[in-house]
Structure 1
Amino acid sequence: AAALAVGLAAGASVAAAAEEAVREAASFLASGGVASLAAEPEPPQLHGASDAFVVAQQTRAAGGTVVATGGCFDLLHAGHARTLAAARSLGDCLIVCLNSDASVTRLKGEERPIMNEQDRAELLLSLECVDAVLVFEEQTPEAALERLRPDLWVKGGDYTAEQLPEAKLLESWGGQTVTVPYYPARSTTKLAAALAKVG
């Protein structure tokens, strides 16, 4: 329409102006139309420490239960997904305390992590059951938990809650440690070994 108006204003005949307008419209569509004008999509904003604390604060203000869990989550698999879903079902929000890249390397060796912390956090946040991710640098989550102070700390495993080293810390502010079923057939180490054979 703009090209047609410009052509008519310049004194072109209606037919000539319409022909030019059609030519310009075809060229615009061939170049991708409106989609080609759109900016590159921004990468998703990851929930960092401040967002995790905001989620926890809002949940508490509404009278809800703050649940946290933690781990490396390097190569997310079905066992992780089940544990996370089980953890979320116990409260009103789930905050994942995620080992940083440096922390994973210290725990697992120089070949790990397979996925960097940005990608691991993004995958976790794509799950409906995860409300926020808090990346921590230490090898264990105690310092992150001390700052977050969740009502429940949930881990997957075949041990009792009392056996977890975080249990006494949770008790110090009235929190509880809970274990949910662990799926030993699913593991990042096994996945990595299988991928190495294929690749």
Structure 2
Amino acid sequence: MTNALYTDLISGGTGEAFDRHVFAAVIATGFAPPERLLTDTLALSLPDLTRLFTAYFPHRLDLLDVHPRWSGEQADELEEPSLRALLYNNHSPETNADHARWLARIIARRSLGTRHLWEDLGLTRRAEIGDLMRRHFAPLAARNPGMRWKKFFYRTLCEQEGVLLCKAPNCQDCADYRLCFPPPEVLAAEDAARSANPGGV
């Protein structure tokens, strides 16, 4: 269903192409867990979802009819409010405030996933998460020295709180350097594995 739904959303959608792709990807993968509501997998209220669908996918507003039992937002995980604030407070000046808020909530919720962030967002290529961040969260993107995005988010939150969880005084001396700053051959191998066994859109 995920691929078919993504194609349906994209083909009949409106609005800017890249943003339409991102929202279609997170919606399509958001419907994948049958026991979860889209309001939970995207961390958006039903009114926000209605506005998002009206802006990008007015032809599929019927998808929101599956939410009759929505009775409020799912409780946040401990770090979500801080992560949402980090993202929203660093959104690009040209990004619409509603879009920035939607994306901040979606990215924060999907950052709780177990895969790479671009995979948990349902994006098709690793580079797209960088494109998304540079487009809509440019001040934050400019601060990332090349770390994986989830690691960068959590490191930034820890630094804001004055907490240093890393084992070494600087990244270059850390034994886990390759986990945060993987070399090109590691990224290429991960991308190849993803292409051989696609699980997103």
TM-score, structure 1 as length reference: 0.28
* Greater strand proportion: 1
Larger Cα-atom Rg: 1
TM-score, structure 2 as length reference: 0.28
